[in-house]
Amino acid sequence: MLGSYFHIHPSILLELITIPLFTGIIGYITNWTGILMLFKPIYFHGISVPGLKSLFHFLPKRIQVLPLLRYDGRMGWQGIVPSRADKMASIAVDKGLSKLGSVSDFYRELEPDALAEHLTTLAQEQIRGIVEEIAIREHPQLWYNLPNPVREMVHERVREQLPEVLRELTVELGNNIEQLLDVKQMVIRYFQSRPQLLNTVFQVLGAKELRFMQNFGFYFGAPMGAVLVAILHLTNWSALVVLPVGGVVIGWVVNWIGLNMIFAPAYPKWWCPWRQGLLIKRQSEITEGYAELVATQIITVANVGDELLNGPRADRTMQVLEDTLRPATDKALGPARGPVKFMMGRRDYTTLQDSFADKAKSLAPAAFADPAFNAQQSTQVSRYIAKQMAALSPPSFVDMLRAAIKQDEWLLFVHGGVLGLIAGYAHLLIFGTEVARTWL
């Protein structure tokens, strides 16, 4: 009836309804599942394939690194982003954080003076007990023989000197921070142990663009279905060729255009329908989200402290701490240093210096890990990152965000092509091959 009303042959009407509907739905599913493939599952899921474990080592490196296979002989899938945690973190540093500033710049934004004050506050609560413990352990007879006023003088002297000593310590850390802290390796290890955080980086920053890409699959796929109908009638090619091949092309192109609409062009172009990459249009908004995430999750006092104290260069940090803290004994004793050193002897006095330095070093982990202090300092770092990102040129901004997934985009295009091929054959299976035999 509807076909008679519009004077369209029923078979043509069926094609104009079903083919665009199929291509629109497959375009939507292609992009929806493509986004899922980017982020899920976080950890590899698969099944053991007989012989794959032995064959794996002979496969080309390009095949081995695909998130489809594992060296233990399993075949399955892991989200592209979490599967590339180490490599993507490396790219994120090279293309992103390194453009925002040096290690010294980030350390400066963590406010070493504030860190020194925080260390002083924590140390003053414990310093009396530390002095007592060390004195009693290293030379109890001398300590007990000292008159109470003299012992109190030592305690007071230590309290007075503490802020200066700890300020000097944070300055020395800053002077040597390039040698003590490898930000790239720190970020890589951090993301490797928390692959879900890498997902958050992309999903938070590009939430609107990912949603657009998903819906764009239908908006682009449906009109392309009408194009396939026209091709069928204008060429008289077999539906066995047009629908599957057309499905592959649409599935591939819908992903390619969707990604490029997000990231390109970097600068507005009059000839481009969307003028400028959608992500770039939101640079200021994304800047704030990225800055907050990095400041609260990655470049934090706690993470920097953990890297300094427990990372691969921790021995260098300990040496700086020791070199700075050992003379603190001399400063604490002040004029009494000579007589004390004479009474104790050179060897015992050196042991006393070492003990004080070791005990003082034990205060650092608690200071770095303090949640309240971390939250306070993250605000400063967030402002700095936002300011630096706002100054990035559009190409640099895009490069920073896209570089981490660019090398694996082809997997999404192939995925779209495969789904398009399946959709083409599904239409043939449901409606048969006798389509496009009659024109208007």
What ranges do the domains of the chain cover? 44-77
Q: Which helix (H) or strand (E) holds 76?
A: strand 74-77
Cα-based distances in Å from 31 to 36, 205, 378: 9, 18, 36
Distance CA 352, CA 326 (A): 9
Tokens of 388: 């630096």
List Cβ<8 Å contacts ≥24 apart for 406-409: 408/80, 408/84, 409/259
Buried/exposed code over 104-129 (b: 16+ C-beta within 10 A; e: otherwise): eebbebbbbeebbbbbbebbeeebee
Provide the pLDDT for residue 143.
67
Measured CA to CA in angstroms, residue 288 lies from 56, 142, 179, 195, 216 at distances of 44, 59, 30, 22, 26
- Count CB-CB contacts under 10 A for residue 79: 22
d(CA 257, CA 261): 6
pLDDT score, position 229: 80
Task: Quote the pLDDT of residue 439.
Answer: 39
46 forms beta bridges with: 76
Q: What are phi and psi of 76, to 5 degrees?
A: 180, -135
**Assigned token pair, 287:** 């800047």
Cis amide leading into 265 (omega within 30): yes
Check: CB of residue 295 under 8 Å from CB of residue 379: yes
Element (H, E) at 48: strand 45-48
Residues 6 or more apart whose CB falls under 8 angstroms from that of 42 comprise 78, 79, 82, 195, 196, 199
pLDDT, position 176: 81
**Spatial CA neighbour of 401 closest among 229, 263, 217, 253:** 263
Q: Which residues are 76's β-sheet partners?
A: 46
3-class DSSP state for residue 213?
Answer: helix
Helix (H) or strand (E) holding 47: strand 45-48
Low-confidence ranges of the chain (pLDDT < 50): 1-7, 436-440
| 436 φ/ψ sector (left φ>0, alpha ψ -120 to 50, else beta) | left
Neighbouring residues of 155: CB distance < 8 A, sequence distance ≥ 6: 127, 128, 131
* 8 three-class SS: coil
> Rounded to an integer, what distance in angstroms lies between the CA atom of residue 321 and that of residue 360?
9
Could you give the maximum distance between any two Cα atoms of the chain, in Å? 115
Q: For position 341, what pLDDT does the model report?
A: 59
State the pLDDT at residue 58: 83
Contact 318, 310 (CB under 8 A): no
The residues facing 1 across adjacent strands are none
The encoded tokens of residue 163 equal: 């802020």
> pTM of the prediction?
0.66
CA proximity to 31, closest of 426, 438, 415, 428 = 415
At 315 the pLDDT is 81
308/311 Cα distance (integer angstroms): 6
Q: Scanning the structure block, which residue is given the tokens 């399946």?
A: 422
Q: How far is residue 262 from each of residues 99, 106, 146, 210, 282, measured CA to CA in Å?
A: 22, 30, 75, 9, 11
